[in-house]
Amino acid sequence: MVDKLILTDAEWRKRLTPEEYDVLRRHGTEYPGTGCFLGTKDPGTYVCAGCGNPLFKAGTKFESGTGWPSFTQTLSPDSVTEIRDVSHGMVRTEVRCARCDGHLGHVFPDGPPPTGLRYCMNSVAMKHVAEGKPLELVKA
């Protein structure tokens, strides 16, 4: 289980860029095809841009053709939380960071083996930590 990072709205606004704040705290979405992690294949770990919580290993990333970086599985079962999302006239499963509750994207049951899942994430909601570099959680 991850220790929660709880901050006020003002604290989040100070820590995050306007784009990060919109996606992570207001459940926004970056435009398809605009994310910095589309097409990247660098080894390492993707972490939450809000708190540094490790989310995905680069080896689970794949090109889904959707316009957003996609992964077949999370780093661990405790990395994210999944919440039923009925916004925009659809029923989807929202994916949030388990540590700071930041909105990351959605998961769909149409991914490749071995999981059959497609974690469709916003690039702006994540940072990439190169293989061999230390993973550091952001402190309150």
Task: Specify which residues 94 forms β-bridges with.
Answer: 83, 106
Helices vs strands, H then E, count in the chain: 2, 9
Q: What is the DSSP letter of 12?
A: H
Is the Cβ–Cβ distance between 30 and 123 less than 8 Å? Answer: yes
Is the Cβ–Cβ distance between 83 and 46 less than 8 Å? Answer: no
Is the Cβ–Cβ distance between 52 and 60 less than 8 Å? Answer: no
Q: Is 36 a catalytic residue?
A: no
List 48, 97, 100, 120, catalytic entry: 120
- Per DSSP (E only), the strands in the chain are 44-48, 54-57, 61-62, 70-71, 80-85, 92-97, 103-108, 118-121, 126-130
Active site residues: 120
